[in-house]
């Protein structure tokens, strides 16, 4: 049996062939079988060149090198796929996001995506340093990448990818990142996952309100309409909203569900699958609950000043704590008389 036939029967889209890199512990990529049934060999120089391009995708202080390397990897075509898949496992966050960006442009939607690729795509839908590579220092690091739009567009245009990543997308509905949570809900809603209707409606219907996020209301309306009658009850509840836009869109979606015989009329529900990310800051999301409260400062021990004839046992009984705990807090190893004026620390929990 030919290698390609065997791997196709096993459901394998590609495999990587390595050898140990001599004195180094790194593995050297020699070649790969890619899902078109063709065995691809890489000469050592070609493999090394691809590996060096992948290394340039990492987060560093070199201007534009990641963007330029990504363009060169795209130009190499399918022969770069194995090294890019490897980078999804081994690279830093920026490397992984750039590798996924190149892969999504190279791989056919007919080829089943790897699970790691799907994980990286969904991670990229969080509110992160991109598109401009801006870190906490307020400086731009010359690594332009629209990974949020890339992930959303990829899943909304590929039902196969949505089905493959369904469990991961469901987990993202509980994300602590409101942007990732909304995008996962939009993708699953547009995919018609009616068994999640109650959870999806709880995320999407608040986005029908008038807010500072551009295009979220139209996309939410489109996803809710795709869910059909499964979201009728929460939409009816939204008719009593204090927000005029939310009332209007909820009414239009309900009217479309009732009268359109499964069709989505563009004059009733805006065909807004395509997001514009202007105003997409955490504070503008309905799910935003403000910055977390800082933890309270630790309580300081109370200081008790001993008087004549005071003992540890008497002080422990006075503050209803154990003598051992009192000795431990005050670094007293053995029981001894207390000197008048000696300061004894009392734990705040004793008060």
| Judgement on whether residues 322 and 240 belong to the same structural domain of the protein | no
Q: Which of 43-52, 56-65, 235-244, 312-321 has the highest mean pLDDT?
A: 235-244
Query: Are residues 284 and 239 part of one domain?
Result: yes
pLDDT at site 288: 56
Same domain, 284 and 173: yes
Is 93 a member of any domain?
Answer: no
Share above pLDDT 70 across residues of the chain, in percent, rounded to a whole number: 74
Answer yes or no: is pLDDT of 236 > 80.
yes
d(CA 116, CA 151): 14
With residue 29 as reference, give the H or E element that holds it. Answer: strand 27-34
Which of 184-188, 282-286, 296-300 is predicted most confidently? 184-188
**185 & 277 share domain:** yes
Where does 106-232 show beta strands of DSSP type E? none
User: Is residue 325 a part of any domain in this protein?
Assistant: yes
Domain count, the chain: 2
Please say if the pLDDT value at position 174 is more than 50: yes
Domain, as residue range, for 320: 302-350
Residue 344 lies in a domain: yes
Q: Is residue 169 part of a domain?
A: yes
Question: Looking at the structure, do residues 278 and 306 belong to the same domain, yes or no?
Answer: no
Query: Residue 133: its pLDDT value, please?
Result: 55
pLDDT for 60: 76
- The answer to whether 126 and 177 have CB atoms below 8 angstroms apart is yes
Q: Is residue 310 part of a domain?
A: yes
Side-chain half-sphere of 57: how many Cα atoms within 13 Å? 29
Instruction: Answer yes or no: do 196 and 311 share one domain.
Output: no
Exposed / middle / buried, residue 194 (Cβ in 10 Å: 0-12, 13-18, 19+): middle
Q: Average pLDDT of 90-104?
A: 88
Choosing from 265, 289, 313, the residue where a domain stops is 289
* Better pLDDT: 128 or 267: 128
Taking only the tens place, the pLDDT of each residue in 37-80 is 343 555 667 778 888 898 888 887 777 888 899 899 999 888 88
pLDDT of residue 168: 93
Is 240 domain-assigned? yes
Quick check: 8 pLDDT over 90? no
**pLDDT value of position 231:** 94
**Average pLDDT of span 246-271:** 72
pLDDT digits (tens, 9 = 90+) for 198-220: 999 999 999 999 988 888 998 99
Domain boundary (289, 314, 341) is at 289
- 302 has which bridge partners? 346
| Domain assignment present for 52 | no
Task: Look at residue 294 in the predicted model and tell me its pLDDT.
Answer: 66
Most confident of 89-93, 247-251, 318-322: 247-251
Higher-pLDDT residue of 266, 156: 156
CATH number at residue 343: 3.10.350.10
Contacts of 227 (CB under 8 A, 6+ apart): 189, 192, 193, 194, 197, 200, 201
Please tell me whether residue 343 adopts helix, strand or coil conformation.
strand
- Looking at residue 263, what is its pLDDT? 54
Q: Which of 96-100, 194-198, 287-291 has the lowest mean pLDDT?
A: 287-291
Between residues 328 and 271, the one the model is more confident about: 328
């Amino acid at each position: 049996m030919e290698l390609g036939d065997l791997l196709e029967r096993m459901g394998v889209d590609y495999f990587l062939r390595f050898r140990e890199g001599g004195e180094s512990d790194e593995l050297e990529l020699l070649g790969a079988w890619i899902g078109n049934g063709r065995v691809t060999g890489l000469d050592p120089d070609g493999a090394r060149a691809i590996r060096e391009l992948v290394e340039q995708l990492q987060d560093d202080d070199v201007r534009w090198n990641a963007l330029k390397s990504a363009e060169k990897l795209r130009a190499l075509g399918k022969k770069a796929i194995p090294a890019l898949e490897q980078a999804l496992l081994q690279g830093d966050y920026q490397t992984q996001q750039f590798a996924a960006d190149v892969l999504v442009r190279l791989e056919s939607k007919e080829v089943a995506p790897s699970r790691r690729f799907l994980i990286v795509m969904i991670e990229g839908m969080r509110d992160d340093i991109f598109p401009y590579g801006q870190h906490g220092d307020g400086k731009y690091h010359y690594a332009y990448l629209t990974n949020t739009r890339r992930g959303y567009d990829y899943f909304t245009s590929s039902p196969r990818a949505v089905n493959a990543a369904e469990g991961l997308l469901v987990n993202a509905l509980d994300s602590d990142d409101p942007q990732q949570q909304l995008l996962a809900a939009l993708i699953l809603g547009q995919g018609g996952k009616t068994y999640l209707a109650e959870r999806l409606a709880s995320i999407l219907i608040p986005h029908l309100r008038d807010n500072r996020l551009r295009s979220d209301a139209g996309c939410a309306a489109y996803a809710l309409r795709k869910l059909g009658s499964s979201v009728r009850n929460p939409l009816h509840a939204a008719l009593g909203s204090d927000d005029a836009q939310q009332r209007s869109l909820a009414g239009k979606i309900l009217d479309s569900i009732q009268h359109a015989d499964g069709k989505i009329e563009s004059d009733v529900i805006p065909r807004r699958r395509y997001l514009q990310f202007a105003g997409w800051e955490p504070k503008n999301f309905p799910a935003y609950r403000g910055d977390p409260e800082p933890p309270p400062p630790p309580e300081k021990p109370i200081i008790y000043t001993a008087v004549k004839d005071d003992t540890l046992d008497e002080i422990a009984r006075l503050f209803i704590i154990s003598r051992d705990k009192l000795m431990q807090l005050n670094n007293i190893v053995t029981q001894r008389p207390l000197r008048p004026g000696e300061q004894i620390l009392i734990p705040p929990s004793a008060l």
